[in-house]
Amino acid sequence: MPAAPLFPILYRILQPAFPRCLWAGRADSKAIALTFDDGPHPQYTPQLLKVLDRYQIPASFFWLGVCVERYPAVALDVYRQGHWIGLHGYDHRSFIRLKPDELKQTLEMTQTAISHACQLDPSRVRDVRPPNGLFAPQTLDLLFQWEYRPVMWSVVPEDWVSPGVEVVVKRVLQQVQNGSLIVLHDGYHGGQDVTQIAERLIPQLLSRGYKFVSINQLWQLKC
């Protein structure tokens, strides 16, 4: 059974319960964020970048440290094109299963990989999305203690199970609203469709008057 119908319900429950996380932008603003998890990927990410460049829109990428180490040139291309970079852990292990020192290590290892690939000060990479969106209150306490910014979601079309391009696009268009924070994937799970999804989705969102912003801009609009 697809989990996609449950995500809007989870959002309505979790967002007010954990308001210090970034779940979405302002309800009175047409600014939305398009985000991509689990990369960079040597094939899917460069293809996606061409679509983003064609429409001249910013996106935000939440990377796995192991993928950055494998494909540093792809990571550098993403950064040079002006997209926002966040952390998704080193190897996609669930944060709630990690001890505090292991959690800190997976974040710092990913920061280091990004720093080496992009010639970027690791302290500038502070946005964190937990793998699979799983977290506990204790997880958030540690992230805040270490001065990271937890980033969640408001639109999750479950593209990683590859339900088809049209299905993913339809799910996003049904759920999107002012301030939406959309999650897609350009990694090994779901990434094979990401370019086609972006090609279909972006012009339709633009035609509805939405403006794409980075996660950093969404934080600023929230404040």
Burial of 129: CB neighbours in 10 Å, binned 0-12, 13-18, 19+:
buried
Please identify which of the residues 38, 127, 185, 186 carries the catalytic annotation.
185
Please identify which of the residues 37, 38, 159, 193 carries the catalytic annotation.
37
Helix (H) or strand (E) holding 78: helix 72-80
Q: Answer yes or no: 186 catalytic.
A: no
Q: Answer yes or no: 37 catalytic.
A: yes
Cα separation, 48 vs 40, in Å, equals 11
Phi, psi values for residue 69, rounded to 5°: -65, -35
Cα separation, 178 vs 142, in Å, equals 30
Helix (H) or strand (E) holding 138: helix 137-145
Cα separation, 97 vs 99, in Å, equals 7
**SS3 state at 66:** helix
Burial of 182: CB neighbours in 10 Å, binned 0-12, 13-18, 19+:
buried
Active site residues: 37, 185
